Structures are given as structure tokens and as C-alpha cells.
Amino acid sequence: MIDLHTHSIFSDGELLPTELIRRAMVNGCEAVAITDHVDATNLEHVVSCLKDLSYIRDEWDIRALVGVELTHVPPGKIDALARRARGLGAELVVVHGETTVEPVPEGTNRAALLADIDILAHPGLISIEEAELARENGVYLEITARCGHNRTNGHVARTAKDAGANLILNTDAHSPDDLITERTALTIARGAGMSESEARALVSKPLRGMKIIK
């Protein structure tokens, strides 16, 4: 099990990165990414702080990744900010998609899928054309454990399947209680309309072999 969308005290999360990673590991995660909310005003600070995660990589049996979640960024600025994040050392770039429970700017999904990103988080009522862009550009669409954002999981799963786009299941964790076990992850995937075999394939997806880390 992997979890490539979580938040620490460097944005609106409750845990230090190290504690978040430790708790995820105990829950059975093979890899976890800290993807704190960023825009142009705090990007450099967040990435520079998270780069010190390297100090635990030889100590615990879990892959800890430095990431960011570009959040409520004007669509026309997403690509440039994603490239800047990469240049600063972000290993993973997530974009806060057009969830139905927040006023995300219209056009964010499409702009993100045309940019140099890895995951489009909680993309809401994503269109088939956008899902096809995700497939063409190697961007993963997120099935989310987070309450509110997960209202459209079923739609995302169906649309991704129709388009042949890759899916990933993440927690979008902000607190200790948001982190999940494999059993809960399977329930979330099944709740999104997946078959037992589809759910298991999604939840057991290993980091190795994925093209998500550039």
C-alpha cells in the first residue's frame, strides 16, 4: 500500500512529517509522500524544509517522498509553478483538483493535466476528455479517502476506467485519524464501484514499477 497525498504541519496538517511517516508505516504503507499545500508564496519554504526528510531514509523501512500540492492556483500558472517545484527538488507534484466541496477555479483540471504533474487529486466531476488527457500524459487520477472530496469517487473511477486512465488511492491525510489501513483502503475502493479484484489491484499498487516518480 502507498499513500502519495498527505499533509503535515507545514500546511494545514496536525503532524510533524516524521510522525506522519511513522504512523503510515505502522499502518502498512510501503511509501508515503508529504504533499503540503503550496502556491507561489510558500513553495520554496515548504520544499526546502521537507528535503530534510532524507535523514530518516536509512532508518525506517518506508520510502518517504518530498512532494507538494498546488492548491487553488490560477490555472494559467499551474505549469510554471509545477516546473518550479521540480527545480527546487520536489519528487512528486500533486494538483488540488476541482472537488465539488471547494471553490477551485474552473479549468484547473485541464490545466493540471497539460502540466508537468504526477497526480490530479480529488478531480470532482472530471470529464471523459480530461480523463483521456490524464491517460495520454501519464497523470494519475485520485480516489480519495477524505470525507467531502470522496463524494465523486464513483464518478472518477468510472470515468477513468472508460478512458483507460491510471488511478491511485490516497488519504489526503491531515490528522492521525485520516491515515488508513489496507482493509479501509479496500472498502473505499469497493465503495467507488470497483470489483474485488480491481480494488485489490489498486490498493496493492507498489511504488516500484510506477512511472509516477520522475
Kindly list the domain boundaries of the chain, sorted by start residue.
2-203
Collect all residues with Cβ–Cβ distance below 8 Å to 62 and sequence separation of at least 6: 21, 24, 25, 29, 30, 31, 32
pLDDT tens per residue across span 147-201: 999 999 999 999 999 999 999 999 999 999 999 999 999 999 999 999 999 999 9
Question: Residue 40 pLDDT > 60, yes or no?
Answer: yes
Q: Of 158, 162, 155, 123, which is closest to residue 139 (Cα–Cα)?
A: 123
Using one digit for the tens of pLDDT, what is the confidence trace for 93-136? 999 999 999 999 999 999 999 999 999 999 999 999 999 999 99
CATH class of the region 2-203: alpha beta
